Structure 1
Amino acid sequence: MSIVENAVYRGGRRLASPASLEETSRLLDRLRADDARCGEPGERCVLAWIGLSDPSEDELRSLGEHFGLHELAVEDIRQAGQRPKMDRYGSTVLTVLRPAVYRDATEQVDLGEIHVCTGPHFVITVRQSAHDRSALVRERVEAEPGLLRTGAEAVLYALLDQTVDDYYLVVEGLENDIDEISDELFSGAGDGAVSQRIYQLTREVSAFHRAVAPLEVELRRFHQELAEDAAPVDLRHSLRDVLDHLIFVTTKVEAFQSSLASALMLDATLIAARQNDAAMAQNEQVKRISSWAAILFAPSIIGSVYGMNFRFMPELSWVWGYPMALTLMLLTGTVLYAVFRRKRWL
């Protein structure tokens, strides 16, 4: 069985922990028949909260049968890797959340996935990955009976609130790494590792943005629906606070994308400048080598001519022939040195 937690609440307090989905459905029907509501109007006192992890096909069919889930909702739960969304099927709402954790050691954003089905008297959370904070949210709402009495919307709010709060930690980690990249770039100590780090962070920020940006639109719509349904004012205010936090996160992530794009451009400029400096330095070396080669080449020609040992050469019987050859070599080398020196090749 993939059931992680299964509880039925009444009046904000845990009443029972059924062992199966069938038992939960029967208990929920009996409680609703006996006393579906209590206290102030609009406060749902009977609520089942079921937590699943990678449910089997049989369990998904059982969920659909016992809780009246739409077949499209069951199909969505079956498929992982979806974007954040909130789809309404009659009185049931399917919400896909993408909780995130930032791994500072590897500079990676670890994205999870949670499917949340909320109905008039039930909440079903389906974990599609190892990263899940539903247990922490359950502890929180169980410690606040007044919140739990509000109904499934309150549980969904708590899950949204925890997810967005975790986003703040991801934002802090990304911001710290981007600051480090900026310091490396402006310190002039950048190398190929900095470029790789920028590209990796750009990929992680883009993935994080895809998990955050769609949720803002869905939260705005959900907040509007709560207002139209005359949901408790405190719940609407709390959800509005979550929306404000999400807007802040989205703004920061978009700013990160802009900063990383600028960092990529700056890094490319610095790399081009370093390559240009290296090319100029190499060119200077080539000039020096070419200059000395030319200076040494001229005396070599003169020496090679006199080293041919021809039988009839006028200079062989001339007393000043040897000194003249040496002088010509020295003079040629000196003139070439002066010329290259004037051109700043040496």
Structure 2
Amino acid sequence: MTLVDNAVYVDGVRAATPSNLDETYEVMRDLGGMAWIGLYRPEPHEIHSVANEFGLHKLSVEDALKGHQRSKLERYGDTLFVVLRPARYIDADETVEFGELHIFIGPGFVVTIRHAESPNLVAVRHRMEASPELLSLGPEAVLYAILDEVVDEYVPVIAGLENDIDEIEDQLFDGDSEVSRRIYSLISEVIDFQRAVQPLVPMLESLERGSEKYKVNVELQRSLRDVLDHVLAIVDKSAAYRALLQNALTVHSTLTTQRQNDEMRLLSQASLEQNEETRKLSEHSLAQSEEVKKISSWAAILFAPTLIGTVYGMNFTYMPELDWPWGYPLAVAGMVAMGAALYVIFKRRHWL
């Protein structure tokens, strides 16, 4: 059902509750007063119906039909077209959900077109009906009440974002690998929130400047200034949150680089220790090789005379040079010569 609530007010009191738009127009003509028509995701023909009845500008009607508008305030003669981006914090998902609200304000009428659950316009209507003196001030008073509700609903969003930022600070220094993704996501939400809130400042300032021209009640002007003060505070906080998140991203990058440097340093130390062990093993191996060379060299030197001595030590009857007087000296000289030759060769090769 697109027609959520529909009433005609006379002197701040609900005088009639028509069941459809055509009946609303008839009651207005009969009773006068102010019509407050609340629509929820209306069909195009319903928007065209109120546009034709109240003479809404075609550009504002186009925006209402298309949707997806930025927060803004536009004046067409004595008619105001206001677009608001209400928001609410979803605890279960830790995300910010944005809606869109279009408001047409003119002499004797208020038309609200809501495209999301937020803001709670039922609460706004009940609040206004409980204060007939405020509602009797006309459409400007309804606009003030809606603005006030939208801004009040921003407060829990600010609290939710602040809590998320606190959690991110803990994640940063705990080394959580998913923290960068969460920071980027939260920065995106804060930027969207700023886009919703920041336009309210010039919008409210514009309403304040035109209050005297359009004879807005003095107390209502003061109430609008109070809303502006709340908006400025929220704008400042959202800007501070964005700066904090950008700093958090920088800190995360620094910590990540530091951790990588620490890991590289540890790897380098381990590599140096391994290289030192390898060097020691190599030196030990070289020392063993040198010892083997020396042992092999002396074994070869001793092998030559041993071979000759072994041959001549055999107990055979017929041995060469047994009856030769120089046989023994020559054998000994051969042993010495061979040993000396091998010694010189091994010495030149640095085996000894």
TM-score range, shorter chain: 0.7 to 0.9
The residue number in structure 1 matching 2:82 is: 95
Distance in 2 separating the partners of 1:243 and 1:111: 20
The residue number in structure 2 matching 1:19 is: 19
Equivalent position to 2:270, from 281, 285, 305: 285
Distance in 2 separating the partners of 1:307 and 1:72: 101
Runs of 4+ in 1 over 4 A off after TM superposition: 301-308
The answer to whether the 8 Å contact 1:96/1:114 transfers is yes
The residue number in structure 2 matching 1:322 is: none
1:81 aligns with 2:68: yes
Equivalent position to 1:124, from 105, 111, 122: 111
Q: Which amino acid aligns with 1:111?
A: F
1:258 aligns with 2:236: no
State which drifts further: 295-304 or 241-250: 295-304
Equivalent position to 1:179, from 154, 166, 169: 166
Deviation at 1:303, TM superposition (A): 5.5
Deviation at 1:165, TM superposition (A): 0.8
TM-score for both structures, normalised by structure 1: 0.82
Are the structure 2 counterparts of residues 230 and 315 from structure 1 closer, same or farther at C-alpha, using a change threshold of 3 Å?
Answer: farther
Seq. identity, %: 43
Distance in 2 separating the partners of 1:95 and 1:264: 36
For each residue in 1:253-300, what CA deviation from the matched residue of structure 2 results, as whole angstroms up to 9, or x when unmatched?
111111111111111111111111111011111111121122223444
Equivalent position to 2:213, from 228, 240, 244: 228
1:170 aligns with 2:157: yes
Distance in 1 separating the partners of 2:256 and 2:301: 63
Distance in 1 separating the partners of 2:256 and 2:298: 60
For 1:143-162, list aligned pairs within 5 A.
Answer: 143-162=130-149
Deviation at 1:237, TM superposition (A): 0.5
Number of residue pairs the alignment of both structures matches: 301
Deviation at 1:189, TM superposition (A): 1.2
The answer to whether the 8 Å contact 2:119/2:149 transfers is no
For 1:199-214, list aligned pairs within 5 A.
Answer: 199-214=184-199
Deviation at 1:182, TM superposition (A): 2.6
Distance in 1 separating the partners of 2:214 and 2:57: 22
The residue number in structure 1 matching 2:4 is: 4
Distance in 2 separating the partners of 1:166 and 1:224: 25
The answer to whether the 8 Å contact 2:103/2:111 transfers is yes
Note the aligned Cα RMSD (angstroms). Answer: 2.1
TM-score for both structures, normalised by structure 2: 0.81
Distance in 1 separating the partners of 2:221 and 2:124: 18
For each residue in 1:82-136, what CA deviation from the matched residue of structure 2 results, as whole angstroms up to 9, or x when unmatched?
1111111111111111111112332211111110111110100001123331111
Which structure 2 residue ranges, 5 or more long, are not aligned? Answer: 303-352
The answer to whether the 8 Å contact 1:98/1:113 transfers is yes
Counterpart secondary structure, 2:212? helix
The residue number in structure 1 matching 2:93 is: 106
The answer to whether the 8 Å contact 1:113/1:127 transfers is yes
State which drifts further: 293-302 or 171-180: 293-302
Deviation at 1:223, TM superposition (A): 1.4
The answer to whether the 8 Å contact 1:22/1:66 transfers is no
Which structure 1 residue ranges, 5 or more long, are not aligned? Answer: 33-45, 320-346
The residue number in structure 2 matching 1:29 is: 29
Counterpart secondary structure, 2:26? helix
Distance in 1 separating the partners of 2:170 and 2:69: 36
Deviation at 1:22, TM superposition (A): 1.1
The answer to whether the 8 Å contact 1:107/1:201 transfers is no
For each residue in 1:170-200, what CA deviation from the matched residue of structure 2 results, as whole angstroms up to 9, or x when unmatched?
1111112222323443xx3132222222222
Q: Which amino acid aligns with 1:279?
A: M
Distance in 1 separating the partners of 2:99 and 2:292: 84
The answer to whether the 8 Å contact 1:25/1:67 transfers is no
The answer to whether the 8 Å contact 2:119/2:153 transfers is no
Counterpart secondary structure, 1:226? coil
Q: Which amino acid aligns with 2:38?
A: G
